[in-house]
Amino acid sequence: MIFKHYSVLLDETIENLNIKPDGIYLDGTLGGGGHSEAILKRLSPKGRLIGIDQDDAAIAAASERLSVFGDRVTILRNNYRNARTALEQIGITKVDGIVLDLGVSSYQLDNEERGFSYRYDTDLDMRMDRRQSLTAKDIVNEYSEMELFHIIKDYGEDQFAKNIAKHIVKAREKKKLETTFELNEIIKAAIPAKMRAAGGHPSKRTFQAIRIECNKELEVLKDSLDEMIDMLSPGGRFCIITFHSLEDRIVKAAFRRNENPCICPPEFPVCTCGKKSKGKVISRKPILPSAKELEENSRSKSAKLRVFERAEEK
């Protein structure tokens, strides 16, 4: 299967990166290489791009797509949370721009055997990095009812989270849950018929929630943002595309905190905590896909781009 991934908010991301032709850029979620290719096209022979992804299929596809750029591109199989160490190992301590596209790729959703989608009857997997041991099957069979409830409620924002968790636990008492369609049936039974008719596929939110938990997506994001801002050269920009309200909230809070880290009480006449701003938020409001993009790719409808710029050295 060909690794397909529509690069969401591509033009807006490239424009906001303020690419320097001789700069060094990091694509922390390489995917099919769409954002990376657009960056490399704007770099001079002195410029460099490092692409990181944990998915072996993405690495293979992007390596082929970007091979025309020769040694200007370096591709590493890793998780972006380890970006600083991974880059230091190849002699890079600072970059001029970073891109993170946090969406699950079209390839991952459309590849039946990966178990990301409720549309295909296959093993419950959902691992972005197939070297890890935890799978979606482990989550639905081994997590407690309370843990399942919190995951589905918080990550899936599903109003029927409590009932879905209860139904999963009840079903697995009879037999271990193995496939996506088995899970579909359980979710369907937990949601009232008149509600099922309204809000899209009944499994959508629960599958999203289990995927986020399986890949620890929100923890990875939280753990990485401050360190990635520190990796930026003065004037360097950080562009992040999110697809989930919790992701967007994490990014917004981290950008705001790095812009204004002062923890002094508001009544203090001068700052005494000594925490200095690392830069400024460029996107006061998130940048959203255009009407044209929404028409071309329905999966971009929840996408939001936020941009942070590292302070110039004084």
CB of 51 closer than 8 Å to CB of 76: yes
- CA 239 to centroid of chain Cα atoms: 12
Tens-place pLDDT, residues 109-168: 778 889 999 999 999 999 999 999 999 999 999 999 999 999 999 999 999 999 999 999
Give me the domain span that covers residue 135. 131-214
Mean pLDDT for the stretch of residues 183-197: 90
Contacting residues for 191 by C-beta, under 8 A, at least 6 apart: 160, 163, 164, 202
Which of 188, 214, 240 is the endpoint of a domain?
Answer: 214
In a domain, 30, yes or no: yes
In a domain, 66, yes or no: yes
- The confidence band for 176, taking pLDDT boundaries of 50, 70 and 90, is very high
Mean pLDDT for the stretch of residues 261-285: 91
The CATH number of the domain where 196 resides is what? 1.10.150.170
Q: How far apart are CA 58 and CA 29, in angstroms?
A: 9
Say yes or no: 23 and 168 in one domain. Answer: no
Q: How far apart are CA 247 and CA 119, in angstroms?
A: 25
Say yes or no: 96 and 236 in one domain. Answer: yes
CB of 172 closer than 8 Å to CB of 140: yes
In a domain, 121, yes or no: no
The CATH number of the domain where 91 resides is what? 3.40.50.150
Which of 214, 246, 279 is the endpoint of a domain?
Answer: 214
In a domain, 44, yes or no: yes
Q: What are phi and psi of 186, to 5 degrees?
A: -65, -45
What pLDDT sits at residue 300?
Answer: 86
Which of 199, 214, 229 is the endpoint of a domain?
Answer: 214
Say yes or no: 25 and 74 in one domain. Answer: yes
pTM value surpassing 0.85: yes
Q: Is 49 helix (H, G, I), strand (E, B) or coil?
A: strand
Choice between 58 and 109, residue whose per-residue pLDDT is larger: 58
In a domain, 31, yes or no: yes
What strands lie across the sheet with 24-27, from one edge to the other? Answer: 73-77, 48-53, 24-27, 95-101, 232-242, 304-310, 279-281
Domain count, the chain: 2
